[in-house]
Amino acid sequence: MSKHIIPHSYQISKEDRLESNKQNSFLMWFTGLSGSGKSTIANVVEQKLFQQGIKTYTLDGDNIRKGINNDLSFSPEDRTENIRRIAEVANLMVDAGLVVLAAFVSPYKKDRENIKSIVKDVNFVEIFINTSIEECERRDVKGLYKKARAGEIKNMTGISAPYEAPENPDIEIKTENESIEAAAQRIVDYITPKLSKLQ
């Protein structure tokens, strides 16, 4: 089937959109256990960027799982497909000239490597929200760990399914030692040079 797909050539390029937006575009990928603080920190980072006039969009597990990926389970195969689809959506948004923030457990290294291949290394910033399973379980903001311990949720990352931590993330945040505000500011400081450097 793919041999019959011929891309149409449009006149407005990514470079045109970056020039119009007066910013670079790329993907910031927040990975970590459920309850680690990914979405909370991404939210504060986006607010800071928005206040600077940066055009952004945040993707996270809940808004994706309720929409484009509502047909997927939490099996290893569906988790991989979940991340692949998100990466493709993020890639379109990067092409549209936006700074994309994506907050997903994304427990498998091979899936995060695949994201890089889809959006290209130069457009990928990996942010590891490194919070211990004990702290995530103590917070249990969504009650997921309690349900997993009771056997109501299968394939729960950190309980009955593995989490493969990044070995060389661009940024590592240890939420047990760093405030949300400080973490968000450190991320903004890291990506600021990237915002104005057209790739």
Residue 138 CA to residue 129 CA, distance in Å, equals 16
Residues belonging to the chain = 199
In the DSSP assignment, the letter for residue 30 is: E
Single out the catalytic residue among 106, 117, 132, 196. Answer: 106
Task: Say whether 34 is catalytic.
Answer: no
Q: For tokens 């390029």, what's the residue?
A: 13
Residue 10 CA to residue 183 CA, distance in Å, equals 40
Find residue 172's DSSP bridge partners.
128
- Which two tokens mark 1? 């089937």
Q: What positions carry a catalytic annotation?
A: 106
